[in-house]
Amino acid sequence: MITRDKKGNPILEAEARIPYELALGPTVHRFFEGFKQRKILGTRCHACGRVLVPARSFCPRCFVDMNEWVEVSQEGRVLSWAVTNYEYFGMPTKPPFIQSLILLGGTDCGFMHLIGGVDLSDVDRVGRIVKTGMTVRAVWRESRTGCIMDIQHFAPVD
Partner 1 sequence: MARAVAVVGVGQTRYGNRSEMTYPDLVREGVQAAFADAGLGPEDVDGVVFGTMPSMMEGVAMTHFYFADALRAVGKPLMKTETCGTTGMSLAITGYYWVASGMADVVLVVGSEKMHEGDSQATMSTVAEPFFFRPFTSGAPGIFSMLAQMWMDRHGIPEDKARDAAARVSVDHHRDALDNPYAHIKKAVTMEEVKGAPVIVYPSRLWDICPNSDGACAVIFACEEKVKKMSGKPAWVKGIGFCGDEYWFGDSDKVSWDGARETARQAYEMAGIRDPLKELDVAEIYNPFTYVELQHYECFGFCEAGTAPDRVLDGTFSRGGELPCDPSGGVLCSNPIGATALVRVAEAALQVTGRAGERQVEGARLALSHGLGGVAQFNGIMILGAEQ
Q: Which is nearer to partner 1, 89 or 142 (CB)?
A: 89
Q: Around 31, how many Cα atoms within 13 Å sit in the side-chain half-sphere?
A: 20
Least CB distance to partner 1 at residue 122 (A): 10
Nearest alpha-carbon partner for 109 in 157, 64, 59: 59
Q: Which is nearer to partner 1, 109 or 155 (CB)?
A: 109
Across 5-150, the runs of DSSP E, i.e. the strands, are: 10-12, 41-44, 51-52, 68-71, 75-84, 97-104, 111-115, 135-140
Least CB distance to partner 1 at residue 68 (A): 18
- Helices vs strands, H then E, count in the chain: 1, 10
Least CB distance to partner 1 at residue 67 (A): 19
Least CB distance to partner 1 at residue 107 (A): 9
Q: Which is nearer to partner 1, 99 or 137 (CB)?
A: 99
Binding residues for partner 1 (CB under 8 A): 5, 7, 9, 11, 14-16, 22, 24, 28, 52, 54, 60-61, 79-86, 88-93, 95, 97, 99-101, 109-114, 123-124, 126-127, 132-133, 148-149
Q: Which is nearer to partner 1, 110 or 117 (CB)?
A: 110
Q: Which is nearer to partner 1, 123 or 157 (CB)?
A: 123
- Alpha-carbon span 81 to 114, nearest angstrom: 9
By residue count, the chain amounts to: 158
- CA dist 144 to 13, 19, 133, Å? 39, 24, 29
Least CB distance to partner 1 at residue 47 (A): 15
Which stretches of 6-70 are DSSP H helices? 25-36
